[in-house]
Structure 1
Amino acid sequence: MKQIGHNVFVHQYSPTAGVVVSFGKDGSEAIDGAVYSESGGNPKVSSSEYIKRGENDAKLLEMHRLATESPNKWALLSTKASFIGGWGFRLFDRQIHNMKEQLIPFYSTNFDEFHDRLDLDDFHQAASYQLAFGNELNVKMTLDSTNKVASLEVVDNNDIRSEKPLKGKTKTERFWLSNKFGFQKTVKKEDCLILPAYDASDPTKYPVCIIHQIKRIPMQRFNGMAEWWGSKEWGEVTNDVPKYYKAAFRNGFFVTHHISIPDDYFDKEGLDDVAKEKLKIDTLNEIADVLSGIDDANKILVTFSKYSADGKGILKEIKVTPITNPIKDEAFIRMFEAANLVQASSHAMPGKLAGVQLGSQMGSSGKEIVAEADYLQDYLTYFDRTMICKPVQIAKRIEGLEPLKVLGIKRMESYTPDVTPKDNTSNPNPK
Structure 2
Amino acid sequence: MSNVVKMADGFWVLKDAQAVVTFSGGQPIDTLNGGKPLQKGNLKVAPWGANNLLPQQMFRLVWENHLKPQLILTARDFLIGSRMGFFRRIIEGRKHILEPIEDPEKEDWMEEVEAEKYMRRAAYNLEYFGNTYTAFGLDKTLGIESMQCFDGINVRAATMNPKVGYIENYIIHPDWSQFKEAEAQILPAWNKKDPYKYKQFLYHGRDETPGQIYYDLMSYFGTRKWTEVSNEIPKFHISGLKNGYNLKYHIRIPADYFADCGDEDEQEKARTELLEQMNKFLSGVENVNKAFVSEYGVDPTSGKELPGWKIESIDDKMDKAAYIELDKQANTAHASGHGIDPSLAGIDQNSKLGGSGSEKRISYQLHIALRTQTKRSILLEPFNKVAKKILNWERDIFVGFVDMDVTTLADNKSGMQPTVNQAQ
2:375 aligned with 1:380, yes or no?
Answer: no
Shift of 1:317: 2.3
2:62 aligned with 1:67, yes or no?
Answer: yes
2:329 aligned with 1:338, yes or no?
Answer: yes
Q: How does 1:150-299 map to 2 (within 5 A)?
A: 150-181=145-176, 183-184=177-178, 188=181, 191-253=183-245, 257-267=249-259, 295-297=286-288
State the superposition RMSD in angstroms. 3.7
Shift of 1:135: 1.5
Number of the residue aligned with 1:318: 309
Cα distance between partner residues in 2 of 1:347 and 1:177: 28
Structure 1 window deviating more from structure 2 (273-282 vs 147-156): it is 273-282
SS of 1:132 mapped into structure 2: helix
Match for 2:387 among 372, 381, 395? 395
Q: Is the 8 A contact 2:251 2:310 kept in 1?
A: yes
Cα distance between partner residues in 1 of 2:280 and 2:228: 40
Number of the residue aligned with 2:347: 356
> Unaligned regions of 5+ residues in structure 1, if any?
1-46, 302-312
- After TM superposition, the score normalised by the length of structure 1 is 0.74
Q: Percent identity?
A: 25
Shift of 1:144: 0.6
Q: Is the 8 A contact 1:176 1:193 kept in 2?
A: yes
Amino acid at match of 2:165: T
Change (3 A) 1:54 1:283: closer
Shift of 1:142: 0.2
Cα distance between partner residues in 2 of 1:281 and 1:234: 42
Shift of 1:202: 2.1
Q: Is the 8 A contact 1:350 1:372 kept in 2?
A: yes
> Unaligned regions of 5+ residues in structure 2, if any?
1-41, 293-303, 420-424
Cα distance between partner residues in 2 of 1:150 and 1:75: 33
SS of 2:134 mapped into structure 1: strand
Cα distance between partner residues in 2 of 1:285 and 1:223: 54
- Cα offsets for 1:244-275 (capped at 9, x unmatched): 1122233332665443222123435x966688
SS of 2:252 mapped into structure 1: strand
Shift of 1:349: 1.4
Cα distance between partner residues in 2 of 1:283 and 1:59: 49
- After TM superposition, the score normalised by the length of structure 2 is 0.75
Amino acid at match of 2:353: M
Amino acid at match of 1:59: L
Shift of 1:353: 1.8
- Cα offsets for 1:64-122 (capped at 9, x unmatched): 12112212221111111111222231112323456322223222322331221011121
Change (3 A) 1:145 1:242: same
Q: Is the 8 A contact 1:252 1:299 kept in 2?
A: no
Cα distance between partner residues in 2 of 1:168 and 1:66: 38
Q: How does 1:103-142 map to 2 (within 5 A)?
A: 103-142=98-137
Change (3 A) 1:143 1:326: same
SS of 1:320 mapped into structure 2: strand
Cα distance between partner residues in 1 of 2:146 and 2:125: 18
Number of the residue aligned with 1:305: none
Cα distance between partner residues in 2 of 1:138 and 1:285: 56
Cα distance between partner residues in 2 of 1:215 and 1:257: 58
SS of 1:237 mapped into structure 2: helix
SS of 1:176 mapped into structure 2: strand
Match for 2:95 among 100, 115, 119? 100
Shift of 1:426: 5.5
Number of the residue aligned with 1:370: 361
Number of the residue aligned with 1:10: none
SS of 2:360 mapped into structure 1: helix
Cα distance between partner residues in 1 of 2:240 and 2:43: 52
Number of the residue aligned with 1:52: 47
SS of 2:215 mapped into structure 1: coil
Q: Is the 8 A contact 1:143 1:207 kept in 2?
A: yes
Shift of 1:297: 3.9
Shift of 1:59: 1.1
Change (3 A) 1:299 1:256: farther
Number of the residue aligned with 2:301: none
Match for 1:82 among 55, 77, 80? 77
Shift of 1:48: 4.2
Amino acid at match of 2:80: G
Cα distance between partner residues in 1 of 2:74 and 2:330: 17
Cα distance between partner residues in 2 of 1:281 and 1:135: 56
Change (3 A) 1:170 1:283: closer
Q: Is the 8 A contact 1:70 1:235 kept in 2?
A: yes
Structure 1 window deviating more from structure 2 (225-234 vs 288-297): it is 288-297
Shift of 1:416: 4.2
- Cα offsets for 1:169-219 (capped at 9, x unmatched): 2111111221232x14x664x552221111112222211011112111111
- Cα offsets for 1:288-327 (capped at 9, x unmatched): 99989973447999xxxxxxxxxxx998222233444545
Change (3 A) 1:196 1:258: same
Change (3 A) 1:289 1:101: closer
Q: Is the 8 A contact 2:252 2:310 kept in 1?
A: yes
